[in-house]
């Protein structure tokens, strides 16, 4: 099997972020969204029962892996690393921006910054998204 680079998101339930909740939100948001694998801790741990050991999902043609860390880390997810989505239309771009920015924050509002319609948003889970589209 050839080497693969797959984005990996680490969530910290101790800080109010759940891999399962984020994964389900993303899969519901994208028309091609699909959960490919979802392994959870049982009663014997070491993580809290029901939290994600390792999960993999697919959105917008991209596989993404995630887990819940039962260890609270000093760091959180940084906006310096983001998922970039090439949207099929500005309408789709607006839909994604509106959904992802709920209880999140907008770094760059939807505008044409000289390279077409673009927006940058952090969702409520702390994941950063760059949303690009060709002008309609």
Separation CA 19–CA 17 (nearest Å): 7
Tokens coding 136: 């309609």
CATH code of the region 8-68? 3.30.720.100
Separation CA 15–CA 11 (nearest Å): 8
Match domain 82-133 to its CATH number in 3.50.50.60, 3.30.70.20, 3.30.720.110, 3.40.50.1980: 3.30.720.110
Query: What residues does each domain of the chain span?
Result: 8-68, 82-133
Please state whether the predicted TM-score (pTM) of the whole model is above 0.85: yes
Query: Same fold for the domain at 8-68 and the one at 82-133?
Result: yes
**41-83 tens-digit pLDDT:** 999 989 999 999 999 999 999 999 999 999 988 888 888 899 9
Which contiguous run of DSSP H or E holds residue 16?
Answer: none
| Helix ranges (DSSP H) in 53-89 | none
């Amino acid at each position: 099997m050839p080497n693969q680079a797959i984005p990996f998101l680490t969530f910290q339930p101790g800080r109010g972020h759940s891999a399962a909740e984020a994964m389900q939100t993303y899969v519901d948001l994208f028309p091609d969204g699909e959960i490919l694998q979802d392994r959870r801790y049982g009663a014997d741990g070491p993580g809290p029962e029901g939290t994600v050991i390792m999960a993999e999902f697919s959105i917008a043609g991209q596989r993404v892996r995630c887990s819940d860390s039962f260890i609270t880390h000093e760091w959180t997810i940084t906006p310096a690393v983001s998922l970039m989505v090439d949207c099929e239309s500005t309408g789709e771009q607006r839909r994604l921006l509106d959904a992802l920015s709920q209880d999140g924050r907008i770094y760059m509002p939807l505008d044409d910054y000289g390279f077409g319609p673009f927006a940058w948003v952090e969702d409520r889970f702390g994941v950063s998204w760059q949303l690009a589209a060709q002008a309609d």
